[in-house]
Every structure is written in structure tokens, then in C-alpha cells.
Amino acid sequence: MGVLDIVPAGVLTGDHVRKLFNYAKENKFAIPAINVTSSSTANAVLEAARDIKAPIIIQVSQGGSAYFAGKGLANDKQQASIAGAKAAALHVRTVAKDYGVPVVLHSDHCAHKLLPWFDGMLAADEEYYKAHQEPLFSSHMLDLSEESKEENIKTCVEYFKKMAPLGIWLEMEIGITGGEEDGVDNSGVDNAALYTQPEDVYDVHTALSQISPNFSIAAAFGNVHGVYKPGNVKLQPELLGKHQNYTSQKLGGNPEQPLYLVFHGGSGSTKEEINTAVENGVVKMNVDTDTQFAYLAGIRDFVLKKKDYLHTQVGNPDGADKPNKKFYDPRVWVREGEKTLTERVKEACADLGNINRL
């Protein structure tokens, strides 16, 4: 039995998201969540998933959403980020079924200062629900880890009560992911904040499970955004097993892994760290830094290789009157970035055991 025996191809919502994550947890694999900033990057991610017969998570950040809408738009009230998130979601919804893979459509980190962006996406979900009986997005993330635990949980509960009736999955963060991403800089936080305690995870589970089972927790185990030299980041994915055991015991020992866990800052992680995280119930791992570089690599290599054909529209080593359109056409060099991005997404899926799962 494969994933498509459980959920359909295309964007998943409601209980279908939980069914997918249950299948992943039971079969000891996880699904990479790839940040996209354009239809080009989104298509490359879908292409990778199709080629290796795997489900995939496509996500947009606040800054990535603004870029999707266009850097020329004002964003003083998050209007570009809201418009871009909607545009990205509608694009993925339009083409996802044609790729034949299940897709979780997700919005990434939303700190307290970015809640107007979250509110705008939630309004779009409500509007889409009225017309289609399902939300626009599969899931959203609230990252209130810089707030007190009590405030973090309280705000998540307030939003989850709005999201659950629409069939929207909630991802929340308890403990801080270090480093810097999308304008949120946690590079100077106390190291102790990078490791979540089991009691805190259980408090989150207790509060949210009263509303719906459709939520996941990004519990910090030393995670840092970005790529760093080996040894500079002390990941302890074995801590995730302690979270599972603690909550399971509190629930009477059944199930053994009651938590849906998320691995943030996945770029640059070792295969051993990834395997340990998956064994301990991680069903989603974020990958952004590595895929950004992969997208660049294809374009960079094409430009360097074909530079003598890119100086002018006419004239190249083959002749002074030879046209260069087939080299500078964006469909040519952008495609090279898509190819290398696709290969990196396949690698991320392989690392997580997410191959031939359909």
C-alpha cells in the first residue's frame, strides 16, 4: 500500500494531511518542506517529487511570499506577502494534480510581528473554504518561540480554534531555532533556548489536542538556520525520543509516538542526524539554504560556460552575425537552475527515505 492508496494527488487538506503524516511515521520516513519563491522553483520541486514518486511539502516564507508577488510592491502592511502567498498557493493548486503527487501547501515561520501576514492568509483560507469547502492552504506555522511559553501556547490555541474548523493543520514552535532567516535573527540567543524540554512539549500537546489532532510541534534540539562548518552546530535529535516517551507515558503509553515532530534548520545536517530524527517521529524537515544554492548552481554554471554567447544579442564565437537568443532566453538559463534544484530536492527526499512512496 502506498500514499496514493490513502490520500489523493494534489493539495491535501484536513484529515488527509494527518493520514499522510501517520503513514510517514508508521513507515519511518519524513517529507522535506522546500521553500519556494516563484512558479519556477515551485515547478522544480513538483518535478522532483513526480520523478521519484514521492509526496512533497511546498512552503512559502513571509519574505518569499513578498518576492512571489513582486519586489516592486509595497509591504508596509504585509500586503505583498499576503498577495504573494495567495498567488503561490493558487499556482501550486493549479498544477499539482498534473504532477500526480500529494502536496502539503504550507506557510513557514510567522513571528508575532508578522501576524498581519498570517491573518491575511487565514482570511484567504476562509474565502476559499466558502467556495470549495476546503482551505486554500494545507497548513500554517506560528513561530512564537520568542514569547513566553504561556503566551506562545495561548496565541496558538486562539488561532487553532479558527483553523481547525476549516481543516487547516497547525505547526508551532517551542524553543528557538538559531541563526538568521527571512529577517528574523536568533544568532545571539542563549544556547539553552535551543533545546526544548519534554514538559514544555507536553504542555503544548495538552492544549492543542483538546481542539484537534491536526498539529505538529517544532521542538528545538540545537537547530540553526543556514549551513555551518561541521561541529559548529550541536544537534541532539535523540532528545526528540525523550519528548515522545514523556508525552506517551502521560497518555498511558499508547501510542508510543504520539507527537508529529518537525525538524527545522535541516540544511547541512548529517545523514545520521536526519535518521535519528526520523526514527523519533519527525515527519517534516525544512530545507531552504541548500536548495537556494542548488538553484543558483545551474544558472551560474550555464552563464560561466556560455559567457561568450551572452555579451550581445548578435555575435558569438560561431560568427559575428550569429544570434544568441537561444542562450539568453530566460526559458533556457532559468531551466538550468530548475534542473539542479530538482536534483537537490531528490537528494533531500532520499535522505529522509521519501522515495517510491506513492
Annotated active-site positions, please? 108
User: For the residues of 139-196, what is the DSSP string, one character each?
Assistant: EEEE--TTS-HHHHHHHHHHHHHHHGGGT-EEEEEES--BSEETTEE-TTS-GGGGB-
Residue 62 has which C-alpha cell? 513571509
- Alpha-carbon distance 171 to 85, whole Å? 17
Beta bridge pairs of residue 261: 217, 282
- The torsion of the CA quartet 96, 98, 101, 103, rounded to 10 degrees, works out to 10
CA 242 to chain centre: 24
Asked if 276 and 238 touch (Cβ cutoff 8 Å), the reply is: yes
Helix, strand and coil content of the chain, in percent to the nearest 5, comes to 50, 15, 35
- Alpha-carbon distance 308 to 294, whole Å? 23
Asked if 326 and 309 touch (Cβ cutoff 8 Å), the reply is: no
